[in-house]
Amino acid sequence: MSEVIDFEGKRIIIKKGDITLEDTDAIVNAANSSLMGGGGVDGAIHKAGGPEILEECKKIVAEIGRLPTGKAVITTAGCLKARFVIHTVGPIWHGGRDREEELLRSCYRESLLLAEKYGLKSIAFPSISTGAYRYPIVKASPIALKTVRDTIKDLKIEEVRFVLFTENDYAVYIENSKKIFQ
């Protein structure tokens, strides 16, 4: 299940799947601020990638402390097919009154800018904050899609994938992509 969108010479791919199996230059981890792994996509990435990811995360936390919401850092991808993991901390949903939209936009933008800084050409995103952090997918997906659309215009990144774990998430992203990339 996938949809490919050509956008100003770039490829946007929306697919149902498991982000830990993606062969992009980087995959994005919807991390918690401790960077120590957790549930959902965070736990899956740490488990599939092996201990190297956690070791690098520990070094980052020792250096900078907990990662603030909306910021991003990069580590090795360990045993994953991807070369790097970009860790970003999404906002916890509090009804939209706690700067959630701004912070979610920052997650996608900061991840893309970090990929650009490292010269990466392809990146795969999960749906950040829509699992344990309860950000409604119908609100989060347009933010994700618009932020990617607006950010990649000036970058050398050639391909952005949205890898959605459930059929419902995939359907919501497809529906919103038709409005945003028409």
Catalytic residues: 42
Cα angle, residue 127 at apex, residues 125 and 129 outer, rounded to 5°: 120
Longest dimension (CA), the chain: 45
E strand or H helix at 164: strand 159-164
What kind and span of H or E run contains 137?
Answer: helix 137-152
Q: Is 33 exposed, middle or buried (0-12, 13-18, 19+ CB in 10 A)?
A: middle
What number of other Cβ atoms are within 10 A of residue 147's Cβ? 19
